[in-house]
Amino acid sequence: MEKVPNPAVWLGNIWDRMPPPSQATSLSEWARTFQLDPNDVRVFDGLQAFIFMAGRTQQAVSDLNLPEKIKRAHLSWTSAFSEVMQQAVGNGAWSNSRHRFTAVARSQLQTCELWLDQICASSEETSGEFEQILEELDNLRASVQDADVEEDFKILLLDIIESMRRAISEYDIRGGVGVQQALGEILGHALRRTDLVARNAKGDLLARAGKVLKRVAFVGGVIKGGAEIYLILQKIFLPAG
């Protein structure tokens, strides 16, 4: 896949899951939106991702070569996000948050989806890429478990594989935020044991992990965003390029 996923599509998919206005609590309905249990603390990860992907969509549309007046008219939906976190933390009635996300605003976002489809990967391409990555991670995990390497290095790689799997599996909840958080976890694992990485740098396992890592970063839209975390990881796992 040569294009990063369309952030407006991810945002629209979450938007379409929102329950109608009601007097239920805001947090319980956000949890429903992210397909989580009512008391799952990951609801705040989902909200952070929701806001993050709105910003990413806004930036991507702003970068398009379209008249400013037209872009502004189709970005007015972003105002719905201005108090999302505040309303959630206050945990008032869901209707106080839901009324901001109107049918008109959703229509504007759909236009942004169509515009960005010209430069981003389709939902089908993204889904296919996820399936391939998860299959590669399964194969890599089996190879690591069977490998004749230091036990500590094996544990390090298994931790890294789990971080990548979690990012892909929870993309629907955390979007690009989840991928960036996973890269941060992987960076922490790698920097804590640079001695292990250095001793095993010539092996096949590290190179394979690096190639999958690059795909995970790309599918989360991180590389084109110029994330510094990925650049550091690239030097660790893919020193030759």
How does pLDDT run across 157-195, given as a tens digit for each residue? Answer: 898 898 888 877 777 667 766 677 777 777 777 777 878
Note the pLDDT tens digit of each residue in 110-160.
999 999 988 887 777 777 888 888 899 999 999 999 988 889 989 988 988
Question: Residue 91 above 60 pLDDT?
Answer: yes
Selected residue with higher pLDDT from 234 and 135: 135
pLDDT of residue 114: 92
Question: Residue 240 above 90 pLDDT?
Answer: no
Report d(CA 101, CA 167) in Å as an integer.
27
Selected residue with higher pLDDT from 145 and 2: 145
Q: How many CB atoms lie within 10 A of CB 193?
A: 17
Give 121's strand partners: 5
